[in-house]
């Protein structure tokens, strides 16, 4: 592996594209050789193709098209299909982002081939190993050579697990780079809803994978829509569960509840910045609401981004929809905490990431 070899940047799920886009732009600006590998873990065009186009990533150099399946199947497919690419390319380093199955699979493959691994968004921990993403985060960090962290609590997590300081670099949150790009871009897509409204997203198994869970969600949405109109872009997983359980009427007959197909990134940010409040089980949205100072209720019992609670505008709600409704009443009245600035969430994280990558030791 020589300094003239390209970096191989890996993405595969919707949140990954917003994280790799600023990195690839910065590499291209500096004329640093790089290649994008799309694992195709999110094979639905609504979750991948539109993001590649909007973020200006261009056509990936490699597309594994692994599709959906169990955690084991997806991980195995990515490892099997990316191994010959890494063997042939011999990249300067493999750069992985986030915590999806593609992240772990590419990191493991590169490590076994003795190719350096850099993990962007390293060190995040929810302390909940029932979440597959938590296993991915831990394992990826422990096979990586460079751990690029978004916040000081992530550094502390890594040190607590015995990872030496020499491997850890605090760079900030690269999602904010993409967010600021979206804010600078004049919205040309779907206009945000008029007036005050709540924006909500749900896709995690704990919220949508059972009939009873979906019925509870529908009842909550009905109550929330009595406070303010609710706009709900439907993740394909959620849509499939609603259809599979034949619960469509519960979600389509509630006045002021508006269902939408998945939004493109720029549309979603435009809707997010104009919302009175957000209810979500997503990870990345916590970061975006913190930067935008939009009230955010997290419908999970844990978060790997506690800084979004301590310094941002989020509050952990768990699965308590009654609690969520009481918080929405406060949000509607403007009674919510103000987010504080978070160090290095400044739109220049990609610059610091690339600085760290070019200094990475590339020979074992």
Quick one: which of 278, 324, 285 has its CA closest to 303? 285
- Determine which helix (DSSP H) or strand (DSSP E) holds 10, and give its type and residue range: strand 7-11
207: enclosing H helix or E strand: helix 205-208
Please enumerate in sequence order all residues whose Cβ is within 8 A of that of 184, keeping only pairs 6 or more positions apart, or say none.
none
The DSSP result for 41-80, as a single string, is SS-SGGGTHHHHHHTT--S-SEE-------HHHHHHHHHH
Provide the terminal-to-terminal Cα distance of the chain, rounded to the nearest Å: 9
Provide the b/e sequence for 122-148 (b: ≥16 CB within 10 Å). bbbbbeeeebebbebbbebbebbbbbb
Cβ–Cβ < 8 Å for 313, 336: yes
Task: Report the catalytic residues.
Answer: 203
Tokens representing residue 160 in the block:
């607590």
d(CA 92, CA 52): 24
CB 200 within 8 A of CB 230: yes
Which residues contact residue 214 at a Cβ distance below 8 angstroms, ignoring those fewer than 6 apart?
A: 208, 241, 242, 245, 247, 250
């Amino acid at each position: 592996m020589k300094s003239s070899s390209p970096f191989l940047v890996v993405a595969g799920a919707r949140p990954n594209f917003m994280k790799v886009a600023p990195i690839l732009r910065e590499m291209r600006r500096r004329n640093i050789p790089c290649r994008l590998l799309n694992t195709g873990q999110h094979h639905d065009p609504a979750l991948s193709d539109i993001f590649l186009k909007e973020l200006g990533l261009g056509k990936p150099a490699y597309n594994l098209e692994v599709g959906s399946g169990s955690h084991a199947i997806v991980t195995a497919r990515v490892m099997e299909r990316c191994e010959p690419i890494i063997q042939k390319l011999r990249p300067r380093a493999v750069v992985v982002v986030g915590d999806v199955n593609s992240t772990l699979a590419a990191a493991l493959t590169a490590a076994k081939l003795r190719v350096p691994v850099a993990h962007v968004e390293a060190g995040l921990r929810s302390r909940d190993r029932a979440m597959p993403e938590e296993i991915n985060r831990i394992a990826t960090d422990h096979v990586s050579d460079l751990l690029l962290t978004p916040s000081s609590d992530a550094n502390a997590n890594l040190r607590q697990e015995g990872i030496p300081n020499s491997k850890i670099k605090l760079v900030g949150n690269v999602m904010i780079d993409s967010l600021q790009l979206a804010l600078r871009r004049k919205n040309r897509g779907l206009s945000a809803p008029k007036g005050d409204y709540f924006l909500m997203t749900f896709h995690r198994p704990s919220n949508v994978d059972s009939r009873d869970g979906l019925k509870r969600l529908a009842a909550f949405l009905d109550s929330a829509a009595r406070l303010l109109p609710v706009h709900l872009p439907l993740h394909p997983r959620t849509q499939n569960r609603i259809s599979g359980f034949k619960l469509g009427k519960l979600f389509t007959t509630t006045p002021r509840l508006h269902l939408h197909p998945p939004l493109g990134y720029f549309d979603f940010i435009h809707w997010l910045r104009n919302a009175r409040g957000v209810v979500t089980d997503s990870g990345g949205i916590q970061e975006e609401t913190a930067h935008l100072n939009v009230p955010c209720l997290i419908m999970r019992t844990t978060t790997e981004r506690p800084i979004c609670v301590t310094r941002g505008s989020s509050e952990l709600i768990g699965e308590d929809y009654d609690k969520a409704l009481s918080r929405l009443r406060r949000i509607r009245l403007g009674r919510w905490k103000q987010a504080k600035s978070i160090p290095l969430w400044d739109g220049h994280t990609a610059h610091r990431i690339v600085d760290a990558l070019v200094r990475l030791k590339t020979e074992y």
